[in-house]
Structure 1
Amino acid sequence: MKVKLNILLIEDDFIEVMKLKRAISSLSLNHNLLEAKNGEEALEVLQNTANLPDIILLDLHMPKMNGIEFLEILKADEQLRQIPAIILTTSSNRKDLLECYRTGIAGYVIKPLKYDDYVEKIGAVLKYWTVNELIQN
């Protein structure tokens, strides 16, 4: 039986949102995708604790609240800190990478320029989380 993930995507770029939806569709995955345009909107989504996401895909560079600021709030919250947050970004800046891991992320994925490579990376990330014991239990 395939696991159907509840994914919260926090991304301010409409094209990136569409690209992720297209990738999930092209991989024939039937995951639920919730969207938030920034960290503040994502925190509002997460107030519904009866329907928390299995994983969070998070961009770093967003208006209002950047990804690291969101992560600090997420990881400080007793009910939310266990939700795996995976950074999905164009930033290959080592300082960003180290700061995100220090804050408690579950993964850091750099978006490749080629769409086929992007689909491959997204497929690998989502496949991993469908078999992860945290999600299974």
Structure 2
Amino acid sequence: MENILKVLLVEDNLIEIMKMKRTISLLKLKHTIHEAKNGEEALQFLEDKSNIPDIILLDLNMPKINGIEFLKIIKANDDLKHIPTIILTTSSNQKDLLECYRTGMSGYVLKPLKYEDYVKKIETVLAYWSVNELRKL
């Protein structure tokens, strides 16, 4: 049985935020999606320990604190480093991918151009993390 996830979506693009919400609705998932428009806003959200999500979906290209900087900050924090963080980006840059793996990300998903492909990828990611035992720690 899949569990309902608390997801923190760190994304500065309003269209991408709407696309995620539309996908969750289309798939009839009951996951809770919290939004932060950049890394700084996400860190403020995470200060409240009652807000700790089951997973973080993180864009790389954002203002203020970019995705890699945000990832480094949370992976250095003992209270936050256990949160699975999945990069959700348009960047196929090998340097970004390697840096994210070195920093401790849990996955790297390229945003496809076709909406149908996006839905399949999001469905797969959320299904996996909703049954993963790590999130119960």
Normalising by structure 2, we get a TM-score of 0.97
Please tell me the residue identity of whatever aligns with 1:53. P
**What residue number does 2:4 align with?**
4
* 2:42 equivalent to 1:65: no
Structure 2 residue runs of 5 or longer lacking an equivalent are none
> Partner residue of 2:105?
105
Residue 50 of structure 1 and its aligned partner are, at CA, apart by 2.3
1:98-120, Cα deviation, whole Å (9 max, x unpaired): 00000000000000000000000
**Inter-partner Cα distance in structure 2 for 1:2 and 1:96:** 31
Q: Deviations over 1:81-114 (max 9, x none)?
A: 0000000000000100000000000000000000
* 1:56 corresponds to 2:56: yes
**How many angstroms apart in 2 are the aligned matches of 1:107 and 1:56?**
10
**Per-residue deviation, residues 38-71 of structure 1 (Å, max 9, x unmatched):** 0000000000112300000000000001000001
2: CA distance between counterparts of 1:117 and 1:24? Answer: 14
1:134 shift after superposition: 1.3
**Mapped partners of 2:76, 2:130: distance in 1:** 25
Q: State how 1:96-135 maps to structure 2 within 5 Å.
A: 96-135=96-135
Partner residue in 2 for 1:91: 91
Structure 1 gaps, min length 5: none
Runs (4+) off by over 6 Å: none
* SS class of match (1:46): helix
Q: Could you tell me how far apart the structure 2 residues matched to 1:36 and 1:68 are?
A: 15
C-alpha contact (below 8 Å) 1:38/1:64 kept by paired residues: yes
Distance 2:53 2:66 in 1: 20
CA RMSD of aligned residues (A): 0.9
CA distance in 2, matches of 1:5, 1:20: 14
The answer as to whether partners of 1:130 and 1:136 remain within 8 angstroms in 2 is: no
Letter in 2 for 1:82: H
